[in-house]
Structure 1
Amino acid sequence: MKTLIVYNHPYEGSFCRAILDAVCEGLNNSGKEVDVIDLDKEEFDPVMRASDLKAFVQRKPIDPKVLEYKARLESADHLIFIFPIWWELMPALTKGFIDKVIFPGLAYDYKENGLGMVPLLKNLKKVTMITTMNTPSIAYQWIFGNAVKKALLTGTFWKMGYKNRKWISFNMVKQVSHQKREQWLNKLVQRFSK
């Protein structure tokens, strides 16, 4: 059993980094193999260029990083995204990962009648999104419409046919106490240790 984590935060001292460490600790406790794609450290290019779009149409990725990530995705049974929500959406590197790596012929294909999609990552059983934000959850849901959930879990993975999807959201991160953050991290370790 292998878990692939796609991590996106440029600051080593961020709460997202602490979340990554807690999730990895829990997964290691459970005996899972963990693979981390650190989009910032790996200097992933999120821009969909004309050559990438041509490759998208031909269903043949050309970016060497995309080809590397393809192999890592194919061996994972659980995909976890960890990133902050900035201006109600995911950072550019996460969005670029979706644009360039969640690719036809790689992660999904279209049904013969063109109405719907078929998942191609046969090992993948679960997708989890773990986010941080400073917006209260009620405001994010009712004012901003759960934009990142709609874009990533519903508009991407549900549409492709991946049924087991979960979102863990940590809200008001800057406003809560250090003790509260520690509680959150301990719960993550426990959750992923199971």
Structure 2
Amino acid sequence: MTQRILIILGHPASDSFCATLGQHYADAAREAGHDVRLLKLGDLAFDPILRLGYRQEQPLEPDLLEAQEHITWAQRLVLVYPVWWGGVPALLKGFLDRILLPGFAFRYRSGSPFPEKLLAGRTAHLLVTLDTPPWFFRWIYGAPALHQMRRTTLAFCGIRPEKTLTFGPVLHSTPRRRQSWLQQVRALALH
């Protein structure tokens, strides 16, 4: 079944290994007949700081309005990002802070501590790079960048995380190892 897929590159550099992962996913998904869009956060012009929280509306820049349109269009989101200091890069965090707003991603309900999930019906794949061995990141650090994205960001808005692939350590990885990671991404995207 053909899907509408939005790939969000959360690494600021277009020549990063994350960018290569995202492009491989896009190429394989198109090969499988899916409709694919690629959003490179490093190419967007926006203020990544939600300056007043939710106390006052901060107008969205044109690139963020277009990003919201892409998210509304998508059936599956693919987030590609590195783990930096145990979390997502500031650019990705700022992007999420600015666009996943009340009225778009969720809606507060009177008398309920749990909001309405306005992005329900969408799924997500996460492609995450590390310079820490994935087992160490999971069992010693507790995988905070994965839990934050899956549970307290995507699921909060109604997006169901389906699959997470972690790749690491990327630092000093061999071309052969990187090629095997790209094959995993290709296999995931072909579904």
Deviation of 1:177 after TM superposition, in Å, equals: 1.7
Aligned length: 189
Matched, 1:29 2:25: no
Displacement of 1:134 after TM fit? Answer: 0.7
Paired position in structure 2 for 1:100:
98
Question: What is the rounded CA distance, in whole Å, between the counterparts of 1:125 and 1:24 in structure 2?
Answer: 18
Equivalent position of 2:80 in the other structure: 82
Give the drift of 1:12. 3.4
1:3 partnered with 2:5: yes
User: Any idea what the Cα deviations from partners look like across 1:139-174, whole Å, max 9, x if unmatched?
Assistant: 212332211112111111223333344321112112
1:153 paired residue number: 150
Quick one: which of 118, 124, 127 aligns to 1:127? 124
How big is each residue's C-alpha offset from its partner over 1:85-143, in whole Å with a ceiling of 9 and x where there is no partner? 11111111100111111111001112343221222125x42012211011112221233
| SS of equivalent residue, structure 2 residue 87 | coil
Distance change >3 Å, CA 148–CA 53, structure 1 → 2: farther
The one-letter code matched in structure 1 to 2:166 is S
Deviation at 1:66, TM superposition (A): 2.5
Sort the Cα spacing of 1:118 and 1:92 in 2 relative to 1 into closer, same or farther, 3 A.
same
Offset at 1:52? 7.2
Quick one: distance in 2 between partners of 1:99 and 1:173?
A: 27
1:43 aligns with 2:45: yes
Pair 1:65–1:12, CA change in 2 (3 A) = closer
Instruction: Tell me the equivalent position of 1:19.
Output: 21
Bigger shift: residues 106-115 or 91-100: 106-115
Does 2:133 align with 1:136?
yes
Give 3-state SS (helix, strand or coil) of 2:153's partner. helix
Structure 1 unaligned blocks of 5 or more: none
Deviations 1:5-59 (A, max 9, x none): 1112233332112101110111101111111111101233211123875117xxx
Give me the TM-score of the superposition, normalised by structure 1: 0.87
CA-based RMSD of the aligned residues comes to 2.0
Gaps of 5+ in 2: none
Q: Secondary structure at the match of 1:130?
A: strand
For 1:62 and 1:192, how far apart are their aligned partners in 2? 31
Counting aligned pairs with the same residue, the percent is: 26
